[in-house]
A and B are shown apart, each in its own frame.
Chain A
């Protein structure tokens, strides 16, 4: 720089000295000519007139020539000086512009919020901007001449060396990478480095590096990753996976846990077919129905189904999803799917245990009841038989003792009546709660029973169809007893269809009001039906076709329905199965009274 400023000054001085030399040269030439003319006049041949004249003319000419030359030299010299001055001014302006631009670029280089490094092939810092040095907590001078590796973590230094050497091998190509740097105070910052190697004018190979601070982005990324890790962990722990489904595009997104539940390897795209492929064949139609309905209505859905895994194992899952409208107005579902196999199994075990207990309790209770009834009836019966035998013996005597015989027959009548009373009492047990009759909705009772047999229906794969007439009038009945009757009919229906494998096990519960205004409830199954010779005994106490039954159910059902002023009957279906039906009188009759 100093060089540039000095140069024009020196050139000016030279120009001035050259101009005075020229003047001296011209002056000396004129003097020499004058001197030569004088010498010729003094020492030359005698002047002749024409000779004198000639000399005078020559002198004048010489003077004129000298004057013209001097003028010409002067003007040329002025022109030259003007040109020289203009050139010097232009040079000065250019220099000033260059200086301004350089300062500006210097400013940009120093204060641009990007860290610039220039390192040589060995990694020594040749240049660094003050922003870059400040970001690392150093001053520029502290970094210059030092190895650039000192601003990297020990464990990252190999990576830095590799990256730099890659740059050096591919001159002119830009490379970028993300790496941590260490500040003077030991704290870390994440940077994205863009580097490029170039050959300087002096042929030295250098690497230019621009680094951008991405610490915040990295922290956000890490936080996100951590939160995702937590979420994945929580999903794994709770056996709950999440999913998203855009109905229009069919695009499905699964969480890691969802992939695990469905037993698929993580894949970028999931299809609805993949879901259905896993759903147990028995549940497929039902699940499809739920999903189809939800997707067409855009309503939330919630359903449970089983998965049949490739290894043959069965999983129980529960899926629940919330419907939303996406940006383009299409339906989008966001949901969760939970593997409830363990819970289901525990529930089933509990249910089996409960059912077993209930059965034992029922059988025990019925057994005790039966034993008690048997004893109650047997006593008078034994008396009747014994008395009858005694009576014969009184009559068979040589002299028949008619008085004793008569007394004995009276005892027989008394004991016979007593046995009848016992039977009446048993019947009365059923009618005992008649006082608890209240007006109620039959459909409500049906609903209550269905909640009780939900598990039975599910575990026996029975499809329940409800055809409940809306706005049925109230009936006057004992809620519990009515529940018992319906429950009994439903459970019988389920059990009757246990052996059915060639058709859907469908159970239909229907309520309606007939033309005589009686309320009717029918339970229709498609099971094994009733053999014709059993039909008559169906409602007899202790008649059963079941290996585990007591044969009390239908008999009690009929007693209950009778006690309500209704009628319980059974009939074979046109197709397979049986229909049980009972009627109940209207409650209104009581009201109008």
Chain B
């Protein structure tokens, strides 16, 4: 990572991860910014939680570094608020005087790490790497899922019904009996489904149904 150039923006900059830092202490903010820039990471720093919320979040992988002792709103409360608003950005907490109950609460609420100031730079960078990786993965999953949703939306109601029954493991004959159509018609629907969903095999289709949360209607 250390060797990665920062100044010349490569074309993949849209996918370049960003580290967000929220700390009311300017020195700490700047020092963290300096550290992340020195390893070629994009950094955006904020003095308060509200400043962060006002800024537009780009759709790239990232993580949030949050001082637990923030003016007005505590870091832990801000974590809860973000979750409520559907913003699932991985959080690394910093604290001047960490105590166990606080760290447990933070970790349970999904924090990546809990670092006590002053922290070792490598610990912070490792935590950031982990957090960005986690965000990238979840972003990928979300992207795949939204693709599946788009494909699923092209199916007709009947095809959706047949897909649910097929992925539940029913034979064509059983499906025909179930919904009162000819077995040959079931076969035609099945073919359309496989094509529209771009499924390579039945197993692939079953995985897609699972990801979509498709359920076989009650018999």
Q: Which of A389, A397, A411: most chain B CB closer than 10 A?
A: A389
Partner of B35, one of A378, A381, A389, A401: A389
Q: How large is the interface on A (under 10, 10 to 19, 20 to 34, 35 or more residues)?
A: 20 to 34
User: With contacts A389-B35, A393-B38, A404-B37 known, is A384 near B2, CB below 8 A?
Assistant: no
In the bound complex, residues from chain B placing their C-beta under 8 Å from that of A383 are: 25, 27-28, 30-31
On whether the beta carbons of A390 and B27 are closer than 8 Å, the reply is: no
On whether the beta carbons of B118 and A381 are closer than 8 Å, the reply is: yes
On whether the beta carbons of A390 and B97 are closer than 8 Å, the reply is: no
In the bound complex, residues from chain A placing their C-beta under 8 Å from that of B96 are: 374-375, 378-379, 382
Apart from the given pairs A380-B27, A415-B27, 6 other A-B contacts in the complex at a CB distance below 8 Å: A382-B28, A383-B28, A384-B118, A385-B121, A387-B35, A391-B38
Asked if A371 CB lies within 8 Å of chain B CBs, one says yes
Q: How large is the interface on B (under 10, 10 to 19, 20 to 34, 35 or more residues)?
A: 20 to 34
What are 15 A-B residue pairs whose CB atoms fall within 8 Å in the complex? A375-B69, A378-B117, A378-B118, A379-B27, A382-B119, A383-B28, A383-B30, A385-B119, A386-B31, A386-B121, A387-B34, A390-B121, A398-B3, A404-B37, A411-B27
Residues in A lying within 8 Å of B, measured CB to CB: 371, 374-375, 378-387, 389-391, 393-394, 396-398, 401, 404, 407-408, 411, 414-415, 418
Instruction: Tell me how far the C-beta of B39 lies from the nearest C-beta in chain A, rounded to whole angstroms.
Output: 6
Instruction: Tell me how far the C-beta of A67 lies from the nearest C-beta in chain B, rounded to whole angstroms.
Output: 172
Interface residues of A: mostly helix, strand, loop or mixed? helix
On whether the beta carbons of B31 and A390 are closer than 8 Å, the reply is: yes
User: With contacts A378-B117, A379-B28, A411-B30 known, is A386 near B2, CB below 8 A?
Assistant: no
On whether the beta carbons of B118 and A415 are closer than 8 Å, the reply is: no
In the bound complex, residues from chain B placing their C-beta under 8 Å from that of A371 are: 97
Asked if B186 CB lies within 8 Å of chain A CBs, one says no
In the bound complex, residues from chain B placing their C-beta under 8 Å from that of A385 are: 118-119, 121
Top 7 A-B residue pairs of the complex, sorted by shortest distance between their CB atoms: A389-B121, A382-B117, A383-B27, A386-B31, A393-B38, A385-B118, A382-B118
- Bound together, the chains give a CA A378 to CA B124 distance in angstroms of 17
Digit string of B24-51 for contact with A (CB within 8 Å is 1, else 0)?
Answer: 0101101110110111000000000000
User: With contacts A374-B97, A375-B96, A386-B121 known, is A393 near B28, CB below 8 A?
Assistant: no
In the bound complex, residues from chain A placing their C-beta under 8 Å from that of B124 are: 386
In the bound complex, residues from chain B placing their C-beta under 8 Å from that of A381 are: 117-118
Instruction: Tell me how far the C-beta of B47 lies from the nearest C-beta in chain A, rounded to whole angstroms.
Output: 13
Q: Which residue of B lies closest to A389 (CB)?
A: B121
- Bound together, the chains give a CA A374 to CA B3 distance in angstroms of 37
On whether the beta carbons of B31 and A393 are closer than 8 Å, the reply is: no
User: With contacts A385-B118, A394-B38 known, is A415 near B31, CB below 8 A?
Assistant: yes
On whether the beta carbons of B97 and A387 are closer than 8 Å, the reply is: no
User: With contacts A379-B96, A390-B38 known, is A411 near B3, CB below 8 A?
Assistant: no
In the bound complex, residues from chain A placing their C-beta under 8 Å from that of B120 are: 389
In the bound complex, residues from chain A placing their C-beta under 8 Å from that of B118 are: 378, 381-382, 384-386
In the bound complex, residues from chain B placing their C-beta under 8 Å from that of A374 are: 96-97
In the bound complex, residues from chain B placing their C-beta under 8 Å from that of A394 are: 38
In the bound complex, residues from chain A placing their C-beta under 8 Å from that of B39 are: 393
User: With contacts A371-B97, A378-B96, A386-B32 known, is A404 near B27, CB below 8 A?
Assistant: no
On whether the beta carbons of A418 and B97 are closer than 8 Å, the reply is: no
In the bound complex, residues from chain A placing their C-beta under 8 Å from that of B94 are: 382
Instruction: Tell me how far the C-beta of B91 lies from the nearest C-beta in chain A, rounded to whole angstroms.
Output: 18
In the bound complex, residues from chain B placing their C-beta under 8 Å from that of A380 are: 27
- Bound together, the chains give a CA A374 to CA B99 distance in angstroms of 14
On whether the beta carbons of A375 and B28 are closer than 8 Å, the reply is: no
- Bound together, the chains give a CA A411 to CA B33 distance in angstroms of 12
- Bound together, the chains give a CA A397 to CA B2 distance in angstroms of 7
On whether the beta carbons of B38 and A404 are closer than 8 Å, the reply is: yes
In the bound complex, residues from chain A placing their C-beta under 8 Å from that of B117 are: 378-379, 381-382
On whether the beta carbons of A396 and B2 are closer than 8 Å, the reply is: yes
